[in-house]
Amino acid sequence: MSPRKIAVIGGGSFGTAIANLLAENGHATCLLLRDERRAEEINTHHVNSAYLPRLHLHANMRASTAIADAVAGCDIVFMAVPSTSCREASRQLAPHIVDGAILISTTKGIEAGSYKLMSQVITEEIGNIRLGVMSGPNLAGEIAERQLTGTVIASADPDLNRTIQQVMHSSYFRVYSGNDMYGVELGGALKNIYAIIAGMAAALELGQNTVGLLITRGLAEMSRFAVELGANPLTFIGLAGVGDLIVTCVSPLSRNFRVGYGLGEGKHLDQIVAELGQVAEGVNTLKLVKLRADELDIDMPLVQSLYGVIFEGLSMVDAVSSMMAREQNRDVEFVFEH
């Protein structure tokens, strides 16, 4: 398709990887970030040494610290900021984004206090836009290395989905479409909790049977919670559900997995976060989901146990014993009866 002007809000590892992919596809892409020195480094040396030091950035990509400059003339904007920054970033973007522009949220999380998803936050702050969400098994480091990757773009607007498929598709990046925005967003947010649990299991050298148990029961909890909030359970058998869950639960590239691994080694949460130097969304999401599950009376034993370990001093041995002593329920809840 014809080259487009595209802005990516957020200069972390994922924002950088997506901006570079778009630039490789021939689009004039601007990455908005806050650090002047990092913007200068990207524009002069074509590298973001703070997040993806081994990736040589394409010449079609530039960086800016001025939001009006970054989005000027852009009819497609990607939001790639932490969930805690999404509302403020949306508020700052609102006066500058073109009416009718496509805005794609890649942010994975739930807003504290309101329990709103990022699409809901963005809709409240920005008026006349066409909104979609994107999620899947998309580790930024592997995208940067051009590893074969698939993602999901979800929107109620089929034309929006087709446009994003066209601008992002490449020899190593494939985009599938859907219409369950809540399901895709919740899959991206909730899986971070179970990645922490999987990291703990890895540090404790638990067996592969255990990993399989944790991933599948995590998927059951995710879909149970999401359906209560209006998502389609079938979304969770796709890339944004089980696909993303598997990747974050087995890969040491996942920040949330590394948080869990550090906890399994006996480190304090503050020390782990300081060592990471990046936001691990799963810790904040855990707090919110636990409280919301309590309010809605949703059975989420893994969430309850992890919350007890991190915030209430529950030992990992007691957490495992408690889960194994629970009543044995049916395996698959959302099935079509013949």
Where are the chain's structural domains? Answer: 5-179, 182-324
- Contact between 167 and 22 (Cβ < 8 Å): yes
pLDDT at residue 197, as a whole number: 93
Nearest CA to 170 among 132, 143, 131, 133? 143
Q: Could you list the active site residues?
A: 191
Return the CATH number of 182-324, one of 1.10.3720.10, 1.10.1040.10, 3.30.70.260, 3.40.50.970.
1.10.1040.10
Please give the pLDDT value at position 320: 72
182-324 has the same fold as 5-179? no
Six-digit token string for 86: 């999404």
Of 74-78, 121-125, 271-275, 285-289, the range with the lowest mean pLDDT is 271-275
Q: What's the chain's average pLDDT?
A: 92
Q: Choose among 146, 145, 84: nearest CA to 116.
A: 84
Half-sphere exposure of 169 (CA within 13 A, CB side): 11
Q: pLDDT tens for residues 24-59? A: 999 999 999 999 999 999 999 999 999 999 999 999
Q: Which CATH superfamily is domain 5-179 in?
A: NAD(P)-binding Rossmann-like Domain (3.40.50.720)
Confidence of residue 273 (pLDDT cuts 50, 70, 90): confident
Strand intervals (E) in 67-170:
76-79, 102-105, 130-135, 149-154
Q: Which residues contact 264 (CB under 8 A, 6 or more apart)?
A: 199, 200, 201, 202, 203, 204, 316
pLDDT of 336 higher than 60: no
Please check the confidence at residue 265 and state whether its pLDDT lies above 60: yes
Cβ-contact 58, 205 below 8 angstroms: no
Nearest one of 255, 219, 225, 257 to 238, comparing CA atoms = 219
The token pair that represents 304 in the structure block: 């309850």
Compute CA 144 distance to the chain's CA centroid, rounded to the nearest angstrom.
16
In angstroms, how far is the first alpha carbon of the chain from the final one? 45
| Cα 70 from Cα 218, distance rounded (Å) | 39
b/e burial code for range 274-295 (CB count within 10 A of at least 16 → b)? eeeeebbbbbbbbebbbebbee
**66: Cβ contacts below 8 Å, ≥ 6 apart:** none
Q: Residue 70 is which amino acid?
A: A
- At 179-233, the pLDDT tens digits run 999 999 999 999 999 999 999 999 989 888 988 999 999 999 999 999 998 899 9
Residue type, 303: V
pLDDT surpasses 80 at 137: yes
Q: At what angle do helices 281-296 and 301-311 cross, to 10 degrees?
A: 120
DSSP code, position 98 = P
Are 78 and 53 in contact, with CB atoms under 8 Å apart?
no
3-state class percentages of the chain: helix first, strand second, coil last, to nearest 5:
50, 15, 35
pLDDT per residue as tens digits for the range 82-114: 999 999 999 999 999 999 999 999 998 899 889
